[in-house]
Structure 1
Amino acid sequence: MKPREHRIPVRMFAELADGGGGPSAVAQLAAAQHSKHVLLVRGVVEAAKAVGHPDAGMARRAYDLLAAIQSRDDDAVDTVLRHPSVGAWSRDTINALRERRPGATPRGLAALAAAAAIRSGTECEVDVPAVEGVVTLPSLGQAVLPPTATEATVHSRADGAEVSGAGVIVTIPADPSRDGPGWRGLRTVSAEADGVPLRLVIDDLDPYRMPGAANMGGRLSGGDVARWQETLQAAWRLLVRHHRTVADEVRTAISVLTPLRTPPAGGQSSATSRETFGCVALSTPPDPAAFAVTLTHETQHAKLSALLDIVPLTEPDDGSRHYAPWREDPRPIPGLLQGAYAYLGVTDFWRRQRRIETGRAELEASAEFCRWREGAYLVTRTLMRSGRLTPEGEAFTARMAQRLKLWADEPVSTAARELARRRAERHRARWRERNGMEPDAP
C-alpha cells in the first residue's frame, strides 16, 4: 500500500478557485485523499510500535493482511480505505498513541483487514475489537454480540462470513447492506437521471462517521431510508438536468451520507469534516431543492478541504475572529475561507435555479442568489484584508471575488433584492446582539 505524490496543476487550481473544477479536478482531490488514508493507516502501525503499545503486533499483522489482500483484490482494500470514517479513526488513533492517551485502539486496524477480507472472499480468521459487544466493520456494518464481549473473531470464507464472540455467532448476510439476526448493515440509497447514476451509503453506525458533530442522529428506520431515497431521486434529477457540473462533482466526491438530528426550528442542517472526506452529514432533507443545495454546499467544503491538504491557503490561526453572514458566531480565517467557498457554490446554484423557477419559488431563488453573492463577496474582502492568507490563498480568494463580482451585474427584481436585504440586515442585527461586537464593514 504505497501512496503517491499529488500536485494540482495551475489551471486546475484556477478552475477550483472559480468555484468549479469539474469531475476531473475532484477525482484528483479524491485520489490524494486516498493516499492520505494509506499514510494514516501506516502511521497507526508505526505509532503503535514507537510507543510500545501492547497491540502493536496485532496492528502490524492486520496491516500485512491488508497488503496481502490488496495483491489479489485491490478494489476490496480500496473500498475499505476510502470509507470516510477510516480517516477519522486513524488520525485519532495516531494522536492518542503519540499523546499516550488511554483508550488508543491500534487493533482497530484488524477491523479494516476483516472488512477487506469479507469483501474479497479471502479465507482467514481475524481477531477484532468489540466495544460493549459491538463489532464495527468499516464500510460494511456492525455485529452485535453480548455486551460483555471486548473482542471477537471474524471468520471469512469465499462463500460468506461470520462474527463470533462471547458464545454467540452472527452470520453476515450475503448482501452485507441488509440486516440480519445480530447484524446491522450499512444501507444504500441510489438515484438515476438521464442515464447518470448515483449511489450513496448511509453510515448511521460507525462511531467515527462524523467527528465533533454535537447533533449526531441515530439509526434510521426503514421508513426514513425510504423517504431519503425518494427525496434523493428528485434532488438528483434536479442536479443532473439543471446543474450538471455540480452533479458530476457530487458523484465523484461524495460516497456516504450520515444522519443528523433535525434542528428544533426545522429546515436543514448539514456538515462535512476534513477528517472524513466523502461523507456529508445532514438532517432529513425537507424537499428535493434543499437536498440538492445541501449536496452542492457540502461538496464545495469537501473540495476545499482536500485542496488544503495539498496547498496551504491560510497562515496559522492568530486568534482573530470575523463576521460571516451565514453563521451566528465569529469565525477564524480558515473557517471564513471555508464558508466563502461553500457559498460561492451556493450562489451559483441559485443563479441557475432561479431561471427555471416561477412564482414564489423564483422570488425565493432570486433572493438567495442576491443575498449570498453579496455575503460571499463581503467575506472575500475580509479575507483579502486579513493578512492571514498565503500567496496561494490570496490568488485563490482573488479569483473567488472576481467571480462573485461578475455576478453582481446580473439583474434581480426589486422584490428579490428587498427580501435579500431584509434577511441580511436581520442576521447582522442578531449577530451584533449575540456577540457584542460590530460585524466587519462591507
Structure 2
Amino acid sequence: MSFAAQGIDTGDTAWLLAATALVLLMTPGLALFYGGMVRTKSVLNMLMMSFVSIALVTVVWLAAGYSLAFGDDTFGGLIGNLKHAGMSGLGPDSVHGTVPTLLFATFQLTFAIITAALISGAIADRAKFGAWLVFVPVWALLVYVPVAHWVWGPGGWVLDKLGALDFAGGLPVEITSGASGLALALVLGPRLGFKKDAMRPHNLPMVVLGAGLLWFGWFGFNAGSALGANGLAAAAFLNTLAAGCTGLLGWLFVEQKRDGHPTTLGAASGAVAGLVAITPSCGSVSLLGALVVGLAAGVVCSYAVGWKFKLNYDDSLDVVGVHLVGGVIGTLLIGVFAVKEMTGGTEGLLYGGGLAQLGKQLVAVVAVGAYAFLVTYGIGKLIDKVMGFRADEEHEHTGLDLTVHAETAYDHGVLGHGAPVGASSVPSAQKVKTQA
C-alpha cells in the first residue's frame, strides 16, 4: 500500500522532517550559547552537558518516554500507557494525522532533548558530570514525560479537561525547565565567589552564534508544531520572528535606560526571551499580539535575571529569569491576546473572551511549575545524598574542563596532560629555540 493511500501527506511530511532537524540543531546551538556565557575553565563541560543530553534523552524516549507521553491515557489525564514501549507497533505505515508516527515521535523527541539540556544552565560551573548523567534520564521520565502528556497527549488533563492552550511548549519546555533549574540551583547551592567575583561571559561571539542557531531552530520548534505545511505554520513562523525581534529591542531599551549601555549579551538574551514567550502563544495570537508578547518578555526578563542576587539563588546562566519567567508571560498572555482566527474559537480578554481563558492558563502555569519544581528538587536531593551532585571545591576552583574531562577549550593555562594547574603554556625561549 502506498503512503498516499494511507493518508500521509508528502508536503506535511517534508516540512516536519525539516522542522525536526531544525529543532535538533537547537541543542548544539544551546551548547554554544551556554558555552560562551561561562568562564574559560568550564566551557567544554558546558558543551558536554548539552551534547550528552541528546544521547541520554533519546534512549529514554525510545524505550518508554514516547509511549508514556503520547500513548492512550491510563490515569485520569496524568500519564499514557506502555503500548508503544521500545517503539513497538510503530512501523513506516503508522500514521499520526497526516505524517508518519515515527516522524511525529522523533519531532517530539527533539523537544524533550532541549528541555533537559536547558536545565544545565542553572547549575553551570559546579555540577558533577556523573551526577548529570544520572539526573537527565530520571528527570526526563518523571518530569518531562508526564507534563508532555498533560499538555499534548491524548486525554491529558491540561488540554482536554482544563482547556488551557499551549501551541509549542511553554508549559512542558519553558516553565518545566525553568522551575527545574531553580530547584537544582537550590540543591547545589551557589558557585564559589557568587556575588563577589566577576563571572563574565568569556566569549560573546560564541553566545551570539548560539543565539542565532537557537533562533533559526525555533522556526522548526514553533512552526513545526502545526504538524503540516499550512497557513497555521506560516502564522506561527511570522509570530516567532516578530516576537524575537521585539524581545531583543525591549531588552536593549531596558539596558540603555538602566545601565547606559546596550550590550551584545543583552541582545542575545532579549531575542531568546521573546522566542521563549512566543512558544506557547505563536499558534493562538495575531501578529500584533506576538509583537506585544515578545516586547513584554524582553522588558520583564531583563529585570528578572537580577532577582537571583536579591533572593540569593545562583541560577548561573539565567534559566529562571529567561525561560521560567518568559514561559509564564507567554502562557498567561494567551488568555489576553488569543484570537479565534488562530485558535478556532477561543478568544482572549482583549477580544471579548472574558477572564475564563486567562484563569485556565494561570492554573496550568501554577500546576506545571509546582510539579516540576517539587519533583526535580526531590530527584536532585536523592542524587546528592547517594553520589553527591556538587563538584568538589578544588575541581570547581580549578575548572571542570581539566578536572573532569582532562581537556581545555583553549591552550593557555596548561602545558599538557598532568601539568600543574596555573603553569604557563608559553614555552621558554630555550624550548622555542630547541624546537626550532
More strand by share: 1
Question: Which TM class, normalised by the smaller chain length?
Answer: under 0.3
Q: Which protein has greater RCO, CA pairs closer than 8 Å, 6+ apart?
A: 2
TM-score by length of 1: 0.27
TM-score by length of 2: 0.27
